[in-house]
Chains A and B, each alone.
Chain A
Amino acid sequence: MEQKRKLQVRNLNRVFEGAGGSSVTALSDVNLDVKESEFVMIVGPSGCGKTTLINIIGGLDTATSGEVLLDGKPVKGPGADRGMVFQGYSLFPWLTVQKNVEFGLKMKKIPAKERAEAARKYIDLVGLTGFENALPKQLSGGMKQRVAIARTLANEPEVLLMDEPFGALDAQTRVVMQELLAKISRTTGTTILFITHDIDEAVLLGERIYVMSRRPGTVKEVIEANLPGERSHNSLVLPEFLETKKRIMDMLWSESSDAAMGR
């Protein structure tokens, strides 16, 4: 069955005008599709414009030219239909876990009782039941990011945009969070677009992987990477995993050695 196209990025360019007429092309002619319920990864070295790309999709930045379509309609500015999870946890430190998760629903003026119920459901989904009344400062990094994910999901966005959400976590916690996210994707069918510079993460989670290159940031290749079975830490040693990982590494290798030499 052909899946519906959920999110489309068409011929996107982003040029930053610097002082004295100099300009930097951060994104050059980027095209991208995310189908309904799909888990799409964008992987690329730092400086390839991937954060700029996701900010434009999220409405926090504006493209110089090109467009972003959600369900066929062009998007303008930020909106609850494109929920974002950032690398910095960006929780509201004065609100409890419960109230943080309720935030988006409160903005939509959903009655308190309904909001509380919905929030509890998503707090349970991310495994934080029992911590409803904790403040963010009492939580570990992984737990904070669980709250951020629950807060975004509670809003029931059309697409979940994730900007290196596990970048600040230690290696073990990161794998636990990746497993959690794979499970959420499987059980809720949420459409996810996820950005990372970590090739392992991209191969482990992605159904499709967009590999980006730098200077100017553009899509180099699209890889279908369907690992067999449920994604977990065990997938990290599958031959299919290693094969895809090698393909991406080879692709990025020549470029990153150039960059390291300052070329």
Chain B
Amino acid sequence: MNKRENSISMNGKKKKRSAVSERLLSLICFLLIIICWCVGSYGGMVRDIFLPSPTAVAGKIIAMAKDGSLWANCWESTLRVLVGWFWSAVAALPMGMLMANSRKISAFVQPIIEFARYLPVVALVPLTLLYLGIGETQKYTIIFLGTFFQLVLMVCDTVAGVDSNMINAAKTLGAGKMQIYKEVIFPAALPGLMDDFRLTIGWAWTYLVVAEMVAADNGLGYMILRSQRYLATDTIFAGLILIGLIGLVTDFLFRVLSRIVAPWYDRLTDK
């Protein structure tokens, strides 16, 4: 027994060390990009109007933080992403689960979902404006349309991928249909579903910019688009960096959440 515990703790140490070196590699990649940026900008290789200097961008971010527009824009955009994506997740989850477990339902809705999935969301903007006006609902709808159809198919795939051995075992242990959904399929699919959610919330940011392109007067997407008009490349860069940072934070939160709701699950990257 002692030997076994020893080997487990050794494994743990090894894991920790490799995780530290992996983090270092990620950091080095960011550093390299920043170095290239510095060389290109301070070395005078690229004109400021195309590539603003890191100090100019940092200064812009600090200035925005001071006058409060940074927080306001980040908050507005994050809220839009969250609300639009939330409704898409709430709708896609039961729909995808039903599709995965019923051929009839799948045959009924799958073709229309596949069809809708290929419609460019940008092309739907005029209709959303016509139907919904220029308020927040229009923005939520764009994000919903951009993510829902993809998410349904992803949920369906994840749920259909649940090991049928486990479902059979549950059946022979006397579980009924609803019990199998609740006690087997849902928990077994949960880690995969968390991944699906994490990916689609990333896409939601793409559609946010689409939504803020028209008829918005705040938000990061709006800020970037307006800056183009005034050739304020430093603001564009600041906006891009902020969206990227929010993305990193979101990803991190989702990973933490995944580990909380499915601590039993071994991710390939954790091994």
* A92-B188, A93-B265, A137-B266 known; A84-B168 Cβ under 8 A: yes
List the one stretch of A4-12, A103-111, A168-176, A242-250 in contact with chain B. Answer: A103-111
Tally of chain B residues near chain A (CB < 8 A)? 22
B174 touches A108 (CB 8 A): yes
A47 to chain B, nearest CB (A): 20
A80 B174 Cβ-Cβ under 8 A? yes
Q: Which of A90, A137, A155 contacts B174 (CB 8 A)?
A: A155
In the complex, whether A59 has a CB less than 8 A from a CB of chain B is: yes
Closest to B8 in A: A138
Report A68-112 CB contacts with B as 1/0, cut-off 8 Å: 000000000011101110101011111000000001101110000
Total interface residues in chain A, CB < 8 Å: 29
Is A59 in contact with B171, judged by CB distance below 8 angstroms?
A: yes
Q: Mark B152-174, 1 if CB is under 8 A from A, else 0.
A: 00000000000101101111111
CB-CB under 8 A from A58, the residues of chain B are: 172
Residues of B within 8 A of A83 (CB): 172-173
Q: Which of B70-78, B111-119, B179-187, B203-211 contacts A (4 or more CB under 8 A)?
A: B179-187
In contact, A135 and B169 (Cβ under 8 angstroms)? no
Please, how many angstroms separate the alpha-carbon atoms of A60 and B187 in the complex? 22
Q: Which of A84, A88, A91 contacts B172 (CB 8 A)?
A: A84
Q: Is B30 an interface residue (CB 8 A)?
A: no
Q: Contact flags (1/0) for A124-155 with B, using CB distance below 8 Å? A: 00000000000111000000000010011001
- Report which residue of A84, A92, A155 has the largest number of chain B beta carbons within 10 angstroms of its beta carbon: A92
B59 at the interface (CB under 8 A from A): no
Is A90 a contact partner of B264 (Cβ separation < 8 A)?
Answer: no
Residues on B with C-beta less than 8 A from A86 are 165, 168-169
A sample of 15 more A-B contacts (CB under 8 A), given A78-B171, A84-B168, is A78-B168, A82-B172, A83-B172, A90-B163, A90-B165, A90-B166, A90-B168, A92-B187, A94-B187, A94-B190, A103-B170, A107-B175, A107-B179, A137-B266, A148-B169
